[in-house]
Structure 1
Amino acid sequence: MAQDLRDLFREERKKVQRPDMLKGHAQRFENLLEQRLPKEEKPAKQHKFFFMKIAAVLVVAVSIGWFLYQSGRSSVENAVVNTQQSTENQVEKETNRYLSDISPEYKQIEDYYLASINAELSQLTVTPENKELIDSFMNQLAQLDKEYQRLNAEIEENGIDEQTVSILINNLELRLELLYKLKDKLKQMKKDSLQEMQGAQA
């Protein structure tokens, strides 16, 4: 009873006779498959998707190129602007002369006025309603600053004169007073506009 299963299967296969296929059976089967199954147009679809893949790659490449171009251009522009600003700052430092540079005893007075002027300027908020007023005051301040620079240059050329020093201090006082007046006018404008709005609502 101890027979090998493999041997049993081999003997069984020999006993079973396979029917012979008719001639041309494979050809008839292929023809039947071609009739019943739809024909695939793979090459056309592949070409269509192939061009879409190329287009997608080109879009990505152009986008990356544009991004790199813009970032490179902005960094170059920033470098140029920074260089120009530093050059302008150096020229300003060379041309700006202050009372404290000439006479250290007036440094405290000048620092007080310049700090007050800068503090007042930093508190200004420009709106379309007050832009014209602020611009006119800024023009006056610019003229006073030019006069201040001219007086400093005069002191450097001719030496310290009590009258010139007094004019320089008066110039700083006048600039600060102008800023206080501007601030008061802006407050008044704001108050008037609030009253107009309340009057319109009532």
Structure 2
Amino acid sequence: MKDFDNITDLFEELKGSFDLKEPREGHRLRFKEKLDAQAGTPRGRFASSWWKPLSIAASIALLITASVFWLGPRNSEQQQLAAISPEASQTSYYFSNLVAQQVSELEKLGSPETRPLIDDAMKQLDQLEKDYAKLEQDLLNGGNSKFILGAMITNFQTRIDLLQDVMTTIEQINQFKNESNATNTI
């Protein structure tokens, strides 16, 4: 073939030599049979026998690696909080113990007359605990630490004040009940 400067010249030169006929009937079927026959050769069997197990093994290895990174051991929120602010962690521990003691005392003071009051206080404490968890998460996400730490302390103080108010009310109810019993028996 000669060198052609223009594609048009090339097509003009090759005009009439293109095969424009449609393939015979069953061409696709014959082509597929030839491909299937090649897959039966040792080279074809080797390729197909190793690719499936290798791809499955690679997928499993990928899943294991991904799960280690996503589900691997993470520091608890308390450990992360201690890393950000050791004082906040200590304060949280102190207040948590104080609240737990007061809840225990509150439960001891419970009676049929005071049970609705105690149940309501426990619901309020649960909500305050959820709010505290949100504040902790905000702190861990890098929020304004001074503001958030102040809000966390206020949350604990609110819990303690709530418990003290409920305990005072329960004591007043019990005192009133004892006074009315003493008056009725005389």
Which of the five TM-score ranges fits, normalised by the shorter chain?
A: 0.5 to 0.7
Say whether 1:162 aligns with 2:146: yes
1:123 aligned to 100, 105, 113, which one?
105
- Distance in structure 2 (CA, Å) of the matches to 1:136 and 1:191: 21
Name the structure 1 match of 2:91. 109
Indicate the larger mover: 190-199 or 152-161: 152-161
How far apart are 1:198 and its partner, in Å?
0.9
Are the counterparts in 2 of residues 100 and 110 from structure 1 also a CA contact under 8 Å? no
The runs of 5 or more residues in structure 1 that have no matched partner are 1-93
Instruction: Give matches, 1:38-77, under 5 Å.
Output: none
- Note if contact 1:155-1:161 (Cα within 8 Å) is conserved in structure 2: yes
How far the C-alpha of 1:159 sits from its partner, in A, is 4.1
Confirm or deny: 8 A CA contact 1:117 1:175 kept in the other structure: yes
- 1:101 Cα deviation (Å)? 5.9
Query: What is the number of equivalent residue pairs in this alignment?
Result: 109
Q: Secondary structure at the match of 2:77?
A: coil
2:36 corresponds to which residue? Answer: none
Q: CA RMSD in A?
A: 2.1
CA contact (8 A) 1:100 1:106 kept: yes
Q: Is the 8 A contact 1:148 1:168 kept in 2?
A: yes
Normalised by the length of structure 2, the TM-score is 0.53
Question: Quick one: which amino acid aligns to residue 175 of structure 1?
Answer: R
Q: Greater CA radius of gyration, 1 or 2?
A: 1
State whether residues 151 and 164 of structure 1, in contact with CA within 8 Å, keep that contact through their aligned partners in structure 2.
yes
Match of 2:113, SS? coil
Q: Deviations over 1:50-81 (max 9, x none)?
A: xxxxxxxxxxxxxxxxxxxxxxxxxxxxxxxx
* SS at structure 2 position matched to 1:114: helix
Misfit runs of 4+, over 2 Å: 96-102
1:140-172 Cα distance to aligned partner (Å, 9 max, x none): 111110100011111112345210110001101
Q: 1:172 to 1:132 in 2, by over 3 A?
A: same
Aligned-residue identity in percent: 27
Once residues 148 and 182 of structure 2 are traced to their aligned partners in structure 1, the CA distance between those partners, rounded to angstroms, is: 51
Equivalent residues in 2 for 1:123-142 (5 A)?
123-124=105-106, 125=108, 126-142=110-126
- Measured in 2, the distance between the counterparts of 1:101 and 1:152 equals 13
Tell me whether 1:97 sits opposite 2:77 in the alignment: yes
Task: Name the CA distance, whole Å, in 2 between partners of 1:185 and 1:101.
Answer: 40
Q: Secondary structure at the match of 1:129?
A: coil
Q: Is the 8 A contact 1:120 1:179 kept in 2?
A: yes
Tell me, in whole angstroms, the C-alpha distance in 1 between the residues paired with 2:142 and 2:113: 45
Letter in 2 for 1:97: E
* Pairing 1:152–2:132 present: no
